[in-house]
C-alpha cells in the first residue's frame, strides 16, 4: 500500500507555493490539482470539506483520503506516516 498526496492549489497562492516547496524539500511526490477558474473543483471542495479556498492537502490511497485544510505540517506528516511505505 502506498500513500498518495494531492495538493489542491491555484496560481498566485503563496500558501500553496510554500506547501509545494515543503513537499519538494522532503522529497514527497504529489499530484497538483489547480482550481484556478474551475468552479466545479471549488464546489467539490465545498462538498467534501465545507470550504472553497486552497490550499487543501489530501493524503490517502485506494480512493480514501483524509484532508488537511490548514497549512499544518505536523498533521500532514502524521497522515503520511500512517501509510506504509512512505512515498519519497
pLDDT of residue 88: 47
How many Å apart are CA 47 and CA 51, to the nearest integer?
8
How many Å apart are CA 48 and CA 3, to the nearest integer?
20
Q: Domain extents for the chain?
A: 4-81
User: Model-level pTM greater than 0.75?
Assistant: yes
Torsion angle of alpha carbons 87, 30, 67, 81, nearest 10°? 10
Q: Which CATH superfamily is domain 4-81 in?
A: Glutaredoxin (3.40.30.10)
Digit-coded pLDDT (tens) for 39-76: 999 999 999 999 999 999 999 987 789 999 988 999 99
Which residue is it, cell 467534501? 48
Provide CB contacts within 8 A for 64, sequence distance 6+.
none
Amino acid at each position: 500500500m502506498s500513500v498518495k498526496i494531492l495538493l489542491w492549489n491555484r496560481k498566485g497562492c503563496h500558501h500553496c507555493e510554500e506547501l509545494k516547496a515543503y513537499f519538494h524539500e522532503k522529497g514527497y511526490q504529489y499530484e497538483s490539482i489547480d482550481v484556478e477558474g474551475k468552479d466545479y473543483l471549488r464546489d467539490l471542495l465545498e462538498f467534501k470539506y465545507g470550504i472553497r479556498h486552497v490550499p487543501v492537502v489530501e493524503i490517502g490511497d485506494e480512493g480514501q483520503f483524509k484532508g488537511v485544510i490548514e497549512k499544518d505540517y505536523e498533521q500532514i506528516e502524521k497522515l503520511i506516516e500512517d501509510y506504509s511505505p512512505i512515498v519519497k
